[in-house]
Chains A and B, each alone.
Chain A
Amino acid sequence: MIETRGLRKSFTTRQGAVEAVRGVDLTIDEGEIFGFLGPNGAGKTTTLRMLATLIEPDGGSAVIAGADLRTSPGEVRRRIGYVAQGGATWDDSTAREELVLQARLYGISKAEARTRAARVLDGFQLAGYADRKCKTYSGGQRRRVDIALGIIHDPRVVFLDEPTTGLDPQSRAHMWDEIRRLRAEGITIFITTHYLDEADALCDRVSIMDNGEIVASGTPAALKREISGDVVRVGVASPALAAEALGSAPFVNKLETHEDSIRLYVDDGASAIPLVLRALDAAAVPLGTIELHRPSLDDVFLTRTGRSLRES
């Protein structure tokens, strides 16, 4: 659905040229939620704005929903939706007016635009406020209007720049549901985010971006698997006995003994836990607690860049 090769963009500032995006290759399949994860300033938004025809790339190529970005940006515009980070509604307009206008800017007739606006307002549970001015909406409601504006013309791909930034946890969960609903309707979704949990929970595949380059790509699960396997932490009254029972087990890569627990480094925590329980049971070591720690996308980022995403 989206295929880019060597996409580049640099900006000139007073401090000199800044290479915001340095050769991005992406392949995004139809019907997936694809996430662009990275710290602020990594080049995510610049890449998105290039793909949405808002800024022209310095180099490279991209084909989006079958249209070539460099040679037919007009065709790309017809096939995509784009929702900017800062929102796009006007205080004194109503959601319905905004939606009808947006549809008509895509060349849709007045009657059809009204029908679509009504349908989308229902879909996003906005019908109750549709005729109130946008300035009266809550953050979450206004964000839903933004997304509705981005899909009013039935695009095949929609770009969402930081769709949940600034939302409270409940609105955020609601927004995730909306995004999954769009995928169920067959729209390919490309989001940027700097939230690890969002990339993990929402995205089918992610690319991690840092400093204008992609440092890792894959499904969240596969990326994390590449790291170092899982850690099983076993809380016991006598760590020495537990260590003895498990020290020579073949599935344990490494074992650390702590004051009231042991930590086992294993390839796959889910299959290791029953084995741990059985070994402890056989050695008659009473079990206090057992926890599974899986590597997070932050660990992936840390491995690839030497920094933690939370710190940058």
Chain B
Amino acid sequence: MKLLRDTWLIFQRQALLLLRNPVWILVGVFQPVMYLLLFAPLLKPALGVRTNAEAYEIFVPGLLVLLAIFGGLFQGFGLIAELRAGVIERSRVTPVSRLALLLGRSLRDTVSLLSQAVIITLLALAFDLRVVLGNLLLAYLMLALISLMTSAMSYGVALAVKSEDVLAPLMNTVAQPVLLLSGILLPLTFAPGWLQGVADWNPFSWAVDGTRALFRGDLGAPAVWQGLVIMAVLAVAAVTWAARLFARSVR
């Protein structure tokens, strides 16, 4: 009960500050729309599919997972600014739940990611993408888990390194192989065997497969539940780890 209340307080404040900065909304929607308009048309011939709808079915889920990963991984920068302003320390002298300090922030990130996802899905509908509502909601659940995990990880790393100069290269280094090895932009069906073998060790490639299956309408595909379970386990692990860092001394 106290955890819920505290999480809500932190979430409210973070959401308010986000809405106060309208530039975010522009940037957050502009980039994915560019991908949708300028990159996706290349896909029909490249993927060898017959219709635009098929191309979007493959590309849109990948794009959404990409947004969830990157959106989350770079949230730590805001936290470093808060650390510097003394806001975190001010929270830590109160009896507020340490888990709530993390969850309130990560949930704000998750909600903002989901609102981006909704906008992109609606736009893709205009390009003949069709997806069953139930499947779409499950796909959003997958995105929410990814975003929760990557944002918690980013906050944890931010608390550990306390410096933008370390956080930026670190996150880029993590993000790049994760991106390439997840078949986000192009499916790994074209990859040579060894590359597929490596990709199997990338949890995000399972998430991408699962999300694609959902967009395809293949609810029974094992990739769906496997992706959801892997993401849920990792999200819980990341949240637990980062919340412990909030409880420990931070300056």
Give A contacts to B, CB under 8 Å.
52-56, 74, 77-78, 80-82, 84, 86-93, 97, 101-102, 104-107, 149, 153
Contacts and interface: CB of A to CB of B under 8 A. Distances in A.
* Most chain A beta carbons < 10 A, residue from B13, B89, B94: B94
Contact of B9 (A87, A101, A153): A101
Contacts of A82: 93
Which of B20, B86, B91, B92 is packed against the most chain A CB atoms within 10 Å? Answer: B86
Contacts of B85: 87-91
Contacts of B20: 92
B82 interface: yes
Q: Report the contact-size class of chain B (Cβ under 8 Å from the partner).
A: 20 to 34
A64 to B, nearest CB: 12
21 contacts: A54-B89, A54-B92, A54-B93, A54-B249, A80-B93, A81-B93, A86-B86, A87-B85, A89-B86, A89-B87, A90-B17, A90-B82, A92-B20, A92-B21, A93-B17, A101-B13, A102-B90, A104-B9, A105-B6, A105-B91, A149-B90
B33 interface: no
Contacts of A86: 86
Given A88-B87, A92-B21, A78 B95 contact: yes
A77 B94 contact: yes
B86 A88 contact: yes
A82 B17 CA distance: 24
Contacts, number: 59
A274 B43 CA distance: 101
Contacts of B91: 105
Contacts of A97: 13, 16
A56 B82 contact: no
Given A77-B94, A81-B93, A105-B91, 4 more contacts: A52-B93, A91-B85, A106-B95, A107-B95
Contacts of B96: 105
The 9 closest A-B pairs by CB, nearest first: A88-B90, A88-B86, A105-B94, A82-B93, A105-B96, A55-B249, A77-B95, A86-B86, A84-B86
A149 B93 CA distance: 11
Contact of A74 (B17, B89, B95): B95
A78 B90 CA distance: 13
A97 B9 CA distance: 12
Interface string B1-34: 0100010010001001100110000000000000
Contacts of A54: 89, 92-93, 249
B93 A77 contact: yes
